[in-house]
Structure 1
Amino acid sequence: MKNLVYIYFIALLGLGSCASQKNMEAKPPFVIDHPTSQKWVRGKEESATGIDVVLPITQIMDENVSFQHLYFRGHVTTVKKEIIDGKQFVSAKITIKKIPRPDIIMHADPRKEVGNQPPHLKKEPIAEYPYELDNDEAVLSYIENDGKKVKYTKISKIKEKQPLLYSSKPRN
């Protein structure tokens, strides 16, 4: 009988944890067609890298939709709505900053290498990333005209373009 109580308690906790995940909207008030992502790398080794995500909106049923955040490949970023040549887009820029490496003294005499610091392997925790997504999936959060509740929709089949590699040479 005691084991039955423990099993019931564990099952109850398991079901309760599912409620903490954010519900996805099956029919959002917009249609996104042919979403793309593109990595970019700056020329210098210690520079930042990042990913640009572009979500073309082909239909929008409610003009009062306010787009909030994009969850993509372990990152959360704000998005902005743009209109280019009469077409609407939601775009996000994810910047991944690289930590500059300190100078390291390499010498045949080990006593001259005393000031070298060991590398820091500590990773930054991802702030509130509640989704398990594939590499070509993202979650877009938005608020409809009522302005009260944040809603979420899953975007699949994000096509990855060729990376942009910026030159490290200064332009003349």
Structure 2
Amino acid sequence: MKTLFLGIFLSTLGLMSCSSQKALEGDPPFIVNAPTVEYWQGGREESGYGMRFTARWAPQDPSAIRIDSLYFRGRVYPLEVRDSETGFMLFAEDLRQKPDLVMHADSTREVGNQPPMPLPAGGDFPFDLRPDEAVISYTLEADGKQYYTRVSGVREKRGRIYPGRPQG
């Protein structure tokens, strides 16, 4: 009786954990080539920092697919399609700026300073990915359903630090 109960409990637990993972499509109606990511930082502290993801995108029918989001390294980014001279490109960018802080001897002038935001919980991300993998979500116009496909081999370019304003 105990083994039956334990078997049912483990099966239920296994099924519940599978439902949190989104189903990945093995054969999407497009090809993604040369995915790269580049982290950058402004030369001045107030310039900010960020991440830029690019990849070549070759769809069978561009009007039949609506690209939605990029899931990459624990975060979700809005993903857009840009038409370039050499074809379609997928592009996602994350821009961050350091918040303005007021530091003053009179502590009442520091009232507007916000504490740093906590990092998101690790269990919220729906995919288990390696550092060189990403997931692209897209919607097919024919059925209106959302699909997910894995992109492997994301190459990390050398980080770029932009120069600051010359001193002088």
Q: Where on the TM-score scale, by shorter chain, does this alignment land: which range?
A: 0.7 to 0.9
Equivalent residue, structure 2, for 1:163? 159
Task: Output the CA distance in 1 between the equivalents of 2:44 and 2:143.
Answer: 43
Deviations 1:80-123 (A, max 9, x none): 11111141101000224434565387xxxxxxx9xx9xxx5762
For structure 1, the 5+ residue unaligned runs are 106-112
Alignment partner of 1:131 out of 127, 131, 134: 127
Task: Output the CA distance in 1 between the equivalents of 2:143 and 2:92.
Answer: 22
Task: Output the CA distance in 2 between the equivalents of 1:9 and 1:104.
Answer: 59
TM-score (norm 1): 0.78
Counterparts in 2 of 1:147 and 1:170: CA distance versus 1, 3 Å = farther
The SS at the match of 2:53 is strand
Question: Which segment drifts farther, 154-163 or 121-130?
Answer: 121-130
Output aligned runs, 1:60-71, within 5 Å.
60-63=59-62, 64-71=64-71
Task: Output the CA distance in 2 between the equivalents of 1:101 and 1:3.
Answer: 60
Task: Output the CA distance in 2 between the equivalents of 1:5 and 1:51.
Answer: 49
Q: Which has the higher helix share?
A: 2
For structure 2, the 5+ residue unaligned runs are none
Counterparts in 2 of 1:147 and 1:94: CA distance versus 1, 3 Å = farther
**Structure with larger Rg:** 1
